[in-house]
Structure 1
């Protein structure tokens, strides 16, 4: 996707450091020991869902506090961040950002970030405020399967660092890991060669579909490996493989009622809205419509 590629290029110039080339109903939760019990206030509806802040990045750069307050009024109760320019805490201390979240009834679940740079500090700060995940959002297409083999090793090491700080590591897919390379599907290799105790995955449903795969088959083949999911719809007027073809959720062609139910049944706990393309609508207007769809979705 064009914007995400720009994000990766800009990150180096803005202090994050470029990523190295090798380098779904989730109801209210109650704790029972170390297990999470899922409780829905209205059976079949979503009670907890979030938004990836990249969806409203321009607004975040203009006024991150005001934007976050507005998102909370739309019905989101979880936030997933990204790291560019001002860091995942937007120039604030981690504890200050946590207070901002708490004051608005939001849970800062996770953030995309460069996990190949300064991971120990990032993991310590994230763990200190109770975040659940640090997520590598992009490594780019690789030249060979040997490169993906090195990545699997890197992810295991990064997962260990995160575990030591009380959080989890995850990798967010794009389409390239679902494209055959040297007779193999890289995503499959990464799933099979990373330690489930250390490495999780965030399944971007849009990208799996765009790459010509069925997200349901991946969820069923790898239960409990996709605890996070990106809920991003595909405009039916664009080609299936089109990278920049997202639209307001519920107006596209993806069957989220089936996908998210399947995800929930196979261990998905966090359902994160993402949209990157806007036609005759502003990002914040789209964010509000997406929240309304999520609240009304019946699984």
Structure 2
């Protein structure tokens, strides 16, 4: 026989569960909505069959898409508006794209405007030279690009590799870039994998440059080979990174994996399953 105390306790727990479960479900769904992929992960597949590959990507539960330049252009042979509509029809959003800051910049802006994407991310340093002066010049070029994008309702940003964390004259070059670019015009996409390979701590940057990293490339790294691997198999402490995402100013995570144990689809299925823990 159930006592009144036992009844009240069970009722209280059930009531608490009724309140908490929808909240947890909402939080989980919100996290999933912010989870995307950098299409360089599927570079060969996108060139061979862009629509079919996007269908398979959507089936993995991915919601945000970031493109990369390809032999068939910025959208793998599809038009900017066509790319947007295909993604939308599959329940995904064309959110961002990797581009070059080069002589085709005006055309890149036109295509981005037509696609409706939110971010344009410069994928590599536009000029060579691992010097403080060069990084200051690049920061100015980024500020100008940020102004151009802002006029179009687009956000400009930069994606790092390992080499930006080298030093020149006692200064870390990536920090020169951060210190000389305007936070409201240049939005950093931090590739966490390359940061740890460079021997730096992403959390240190979250703390010192709070809110400067709205985009992440989430990439676990084999620290010996210096190449990407499936989540949980490398040297990036992913749970720790996610615990500090607010300091980063995080809006969207783009998973990128450049090397795979078997196939990009198998690796991405593993990565998506791993992310459901958080």
In 2, Cα distance between equivalents of 1:125 and 1:40: 39
Q: CA deviation at 1:164?
A: 1.0
Trace 1:169-180 onto structure 2 (pairs within 5 A): 169-180=156-167
Aligned match of 1:52: 38
8 Å CA contact 2:45, 2:53 repeated in 1: yes
Q: What's the counterpart of residue 151 of structure 1?
A: 138
1:249-274 per-residue CA deviation (whole Å, 9 max, x = no partner) reads 12223221220231234311110101
Which residue of the partner structure matches residue 33 of structure 1? Answer: none
The aligned residue for residue 79 of structure 1 is: 65
Contact 2:220 2:228 in 1 (8 A): yes
Deviation at 1:297, TM superposition (A): 2.7
Question: Cα distance, 1:91 vs. partner?
Answer: 2.0
Q: CA deviation at 1:180?
A: 1.0
Partner of 1:248: 230
What is aligned with 1:161?
148
Matched residues in 1 for 2:24 and 2:143: separation?
A: 34
TM value normalised by structure 1: 0.80
Q: Does 1:214 align with 2:201?
A: yes
The structure with the larger Rg is 2
Q: Structure 1 residue 141: deviation in Å?
A: 5.8
The alignment yields a C-alpha RMSD, in angstroms, of 1.8
Deviation at 1:219, TM superposition (A): 1.1
**Cα distance in 1, alignment partners of residues 63 and 220 from structure 2:** 20
- Cα deviation for residue 194 of structure 1 reads 0.6
- Count how many residue pairs are aligned between Structure 1 and Structure 2: 253
Trace 1:1-299 onto structure 2 (pairs within 5 A): 41-43=25-27, 46-48=31-33, 49-139=35-125, 142-235=129-222, 238-239=223-224, 242-243=225-226, 245-279=227-261, 281-294=262-275, 296-298=276-278
1:6-47 deviations in whole A, cap 9, x for unaligned? xxxxxxxxxxxxxxxxxxxxxxxxxxxxxxxxx863546732
Aligned mates of 2:111, 2:124 — CA distance in 1? 22
Higher mean C-alpha displacement, 54-63 vs 259-268: 259-268
For 1:297 and 1:87, locate their aligned partners in 2 and report how far apart those are by CA, in whole Å: 36
State the Cα deviation string for residues 54-75 of structure 1 (Å, max 9, x = none).
Answer: 0111111111111110000001
Please say if residues 162 and 198 of structure 2, whose CA atoms lie closer than 8 Å, have aligned partners that are also in contact. yes
Q: Where do 5+ consecutive residues of structure 1 fail to align? A: 1-38
Instruction: Tell me if the contact between 1:257 and 1:297 (Cα under 8 Å) persists in the aligned partners.
Output: no
Residue in 1 that maps onto 2:12 = none
TM-score normalised by structure 2 residue count: 0.86
Q: What is the distance in 2 between the residues matched to 1:44 and 1:86?
A: 36
8 A Cα contact 1:233 1:249, kept in partner = yes
Contiguous gaps of at least 5 residues in structure 2: 1-22
Q: What SS does the corresponding residue of 2:78 show, helix, strand or coil?
A: coil
Partner of 1:31: none
Instruction: Note the C-alpha offset of 1:121.
Output: 2.5
Question: How far is the alpha carbon of 1:124 from its aligned partner?
Answer: 2.9
1:211 CA displacement: 0.4
Aligned with 2:193: secondary structure?
A: helix
